[in-house]
Structure 1
Amino acid sequence: MFRGRFAPSPTGPLHFGSLVAAVASYLDARSCGGEWIVRMEDLDPPREQPGAADSILRTLETYGLEWDGPVLYQSRRSEFYEAALAKLVSLESLYPCACTRKEIADSALPGIEGPVYPGTCRHGLGGREMRAWRVRTNQQEIAFEDAVQGPQSQILERDIGDFILKRADGLYAYQLAVVIDDAEQGITHVVRGADLLDSTPRQIYLQQLLSLPHPMYAHIPLAVNAQGEKLSKQTLAAPLKGDSPGRALWLALDFLQQQPPQELAGANLGDLWPWALANWRLRNIPKARALPAPTL
C-alpha cells in the first residue's frame, strides 16, 4: 500500500509554503490510489503556538485535503523514542555527550550544516555531567536517489559528525522521531521541502541501525520570499486565507509546474482537485532547492 504523509510543526498557521508541501504529498499519494496521513511534529514545546495544531487541521479541511486515520501527535510517543534509544545503546551506536555548543564551535571543522562534532566524548565524559545522547557515525557513504533532486550522498562522520538524538533539555531530536514514526505508520513515500534534503542521509543511517524500512524520498523546492528566505513564522509569512482556497491551490499547482489551465485560475475546489489528481506529474517539479513564492 502506497502511504504518504504531511507532517507540519504547530509553530503557527499554515502559509503558502506549507500548502505546496501538503498538496505535493497529497497528490503523490492519491494519484496512486494510496493513503495520506497527517502527523503533528510537536516535539519542541517552546517553539509551538497555542491552538496552532487545530488551526492547521481546519485549514487542511478548508482546502479539501482529506487525511486517512487519526492524526498522530509526536508529543504522545516518548516511550517509542526511548525504546529506540535503548536499542541503539545495546548496539553500542549511542553514547552520552557533555559538550556545550560553544565548546563544539570552538573545536569543530565546518560541515554542510554548521560545525561538525569532533567526537570529544566518544570514549567517555572525563568526569563531566552528561548533557545529551549522540549517535556514532562512520565513513560509510549514505547514498539515495531523490525523485526530484536526483542522486544524493553524504559521509556522515565527515559532513555532519555524530549527531544528537536526545537533547540536554530532555527533548527528542527530529531525526529520531521522524524515523520511528515513518516506520510505525508504514510510510512508503516522503514528499517534503528541500530544506530537509540534507537531513535524509541521517534518517537513512538510523533506519539501517534500527532495521527499519527505507521510504522513497522526493524533496520539492522551497517557497521563498523576495529576500530569498524560506516562508515561515520567523520570516513573517502570511497565513493562508479561507476565503479563496481555489486561487491558492491553483498557485500551488503552478508553483509545482503542473501547468494548471488558466481557465481554472478562479475555479472552486470541486473543479480543481479532479484536474489536479488526473494530471499530477512528480517529474514536472523543477530540480531546484528554492523558488520565489507567488503573490496570493
Structure 2
Amino acid sequence: MPPPVFRFAPSPNGYLHLGHAYSALLNFDLARRTGGRFLLRIEDIDAIRCRPEFEAAIYEDLAWLGISWETPVRRQSEHFARYREAVEKLAGLGLIYPSFESRTEIARLVAQREASAPWPRDPDGAPLYPGLAKSLSPGERSRLIEQGMPYALRLDMAAARARANELTWIELGEGPDGETGVVSAQPESWGDVILARKETPTSYHLSVVVDDALQGVTDVVRGRDLFWSTSVHRLLQHLLGIPQPAYRHHLLMTDAAGQKLSKSTDATGLRELRGQGATAADIRRMVGLSESGP
C-alpha cells in the first residue's frame, strides 16, 4: 500500500504567520508519524498579489521551522494548461457559463433584491450570484466575449448537482459545529461559483482539486475556515472523475480579540518573531504542538 501524501499549500501574497506555521507543522508531523510524504505547493494564481519575495520567504520560514519537503515544488502559475483542460471538460458537459457583471454591478443587484427580501448567502457570508447570465443565448455570450468584455466562468450549480447523487467526505478532524466522520456535502449552498476568469484560467476551488489529484494527495489537512468549501471540492471531484482524499480540518490560530490570524490584518509574521529572538521550538509551543513532534 503506498504511503499517505500530505501537503502544505500557501499563497505567496504575504509573510507566513503562526496560523500557517501550525498547519505546516501539523502536516509535516503527520507525514513523519505515518511514514508518509510531505509536499509543498505554491498557490500563486493571483498574479497581482503574489510576489517573488513572499515565495522566497516561505521557503526560508519553513526551513527555519525544521520542515523539509520534496522537490520540485509545484507552482500553480506554471500549470495553467492543466486547469484549462478541466474547465474545458466541464464546459463539454454543459456545466459552465460566462457572466459579465462587475463586482460593483453584482453588489447593486444584490441590494435591489434585498430591498424586498433577504438574499441567500454562501457559508462565508458572501451573496450568491444574482445575475441572469445563465439565460443569455450562446450568440449573445459570444458577442460579448468578442467585444472584449471581462467575464467569469461559473459552474451551473443546478445542472452540476443534478449529475451527482448524495456526496459525502470523510472528516478526520472537526467542522465549525462539531461535524466529523462522514459529512454530507452541500455544494448548492455556494451557488454558481466562479471556476475561472478571462484573465486567469482557474480559481482556488478548481486548481486545488486538480492539483491534489495530480499530486496523489491522500490527506488534506487545512484550517476549519475551509470546511464547507469541501462541498464544492467534492462536487468537482465527482464531475472530473478524480479521486477524493480524506480531510482533516483543524482549529484556527486567533488573536487576542478572537479573530482568525490573517495576512490581511497584518498578523505578526514568523520572520518578525524570528527577528525578536523566537526559536523554532518557541513557535511549536506557541501553536500548541509538542516540541519533539511525532
Give the TM-score band, short-chain normalised: 0.7 to 0.9
Aligned to 1:111: 122
Identity of aligned residues (%): 34
Distance in 2, Cα, partners of 1:152 & 1:98: 34
Aligned to 1:249: 284
Equivalent runs, 1:47-58 vs 2, <5 Å: 47-58=49-60
Q: SS state of the match for residue 111, structure 1?
A: coil
Is the contact between residue 110 and residue 127 of structure 2 (CA under 8 Å) also seen in structure 1?
Answer: yes
Deviation of residue 167 (structure 1)? 2.1
Q: Which ranges in structure 1 are unaligned for 5 or more consecutive residues?
A: 261-271, 278-296
Aligned to 2:265: 235
Which shows bigger deviation, 147-156 or 227-236?
A: 147-156
Aligned to 2:196: 166
Equivalent runs, 1:123-272 vs 2, <5 Å: 123-124=135-136, 127=140, 129-130=144-145, 131-138=151-158, 141-149=166-174, 150=180, 151-157=182-188, 159-240=189-270, 241-242=273-274, 243=277, 244-252=279-287, 254=288, 260=290, 272=291
Is the contact between residue 14 and residue 56 of structure 1 (CA under 8 Å) also seen in structure 2?
Answer: yes
Is the contact between residue 8 and residue 39 of structure 2 (CA under 8 Å) also seen in structure 1?
Answer: yes
Distance in 2, Cα, partners of 1:56 & 1:220: 21
Distance in 2, Cα, partners of 1:86 & 1:236: 38
Which shows bigger deviation, 70-79 or 135-144?
A: 135-144
Aligned length: 258
Q: SS state of the match for residue 260, structure 2?
A: coil
Aligned to 2:148: none
CA 1:153/1:53 → structure 2, altered by over 3 Å: closer, same or farther? same
Distance in 2, Cα, partners of 1:168 & 1:227: 39
Deviation of residue 49 (structure 1)? 3.6
- Superposition CA RMSD, Å: 2.0
Equivalent runs, 1:279-290 vs 2, <5 Å: none
Q: SS state of the match for residue 122, structure 1?
A: helix
Distance in 1, Cα, partners of 2:263 & 2:152: 28
Q: SS state of the match for residue 29, structure 2?
A: helix
Q: SS state of the match for residue 154, structure 2?
A: strand
Q: Deviation digits for residues 139-158 of structure 1, max 9, x if unmatched?
A: 5553323111115334323x
Is the contact between residue 207 and residue 214 of structure 1 (CA under 8 Å) also seen in structure 2?
Answer: yes
TM-score by length of 1: 0.81
Deviation of residue 50 (structure 1)? 3.9
Choose between structure 1 and 2: higher strand proportion.
1
Distance in 1, Cα, partners of 2:269 & 2:134: 44
CA 1:127/1:90 → structure 2, altered by over 3 Å: closer, same or farther? closer
Q: SS state of the match for residue 222, structure 1?
A: coil
Q: SS state of the match for residue 170, structure 2?
A: strand
Q: SS state of the match for residue 109, structure 1?
A: coil
TM-score by length of 2: 0.81
Which shows bigger deviation, 118-127 or 59-68?
A: 118-127
Q: SS state of the match for residue 115, structure 1?
A: coil
Distance in 2, Cα, partners of 1:29 & 1:166: 32
Distance in 1, Cα, partners of 2:91 & 2:205: 16
Q: Which amino acid aligns with 1:120?
A: L
Q: Which ranges in structure 2 are unaligned for 5 or more consecutive residues?
A: 114-118, 146-150, 175-179
Aligned to 1:94: 96
Is the contact between residue 179 and residue 203 of structure 1 (CA under 8 Å) also seen in structure 2?
Answer: yes
Distance in 2, Cα, partners of 1:68 & 1:164: 31
Deviation of residue 207 (structure 1)? 0.6
Deviation of residue 117 (structure 1)? 2.3
Q: Which amino acid aligns with 1:41?
A: E
1:3 aligns with 2:5: yes
Q: Deviation digits for residues 37-59 of structure 1, max 9, x if unmatched?
A: 00000111222244010111011
Distance in 2, Cα, partners of 1:75 & 1:88: 21
Deviation of residue 249 (structure 1)? 1.5
Distance in 1, Cα, partners of 2:36 & 2:42: 20
Q: Which amino acid aligns with 1:180?
A: V
Is the contact between residue 141 and residue 155 of structure 1 (CA under 8 Å) also seen in structure 2?
Answer: no
Q: Which amino acid aligns with 1:161?
A: G
Distance in 2, Cα, partners of 1:48 & 1:62: 22
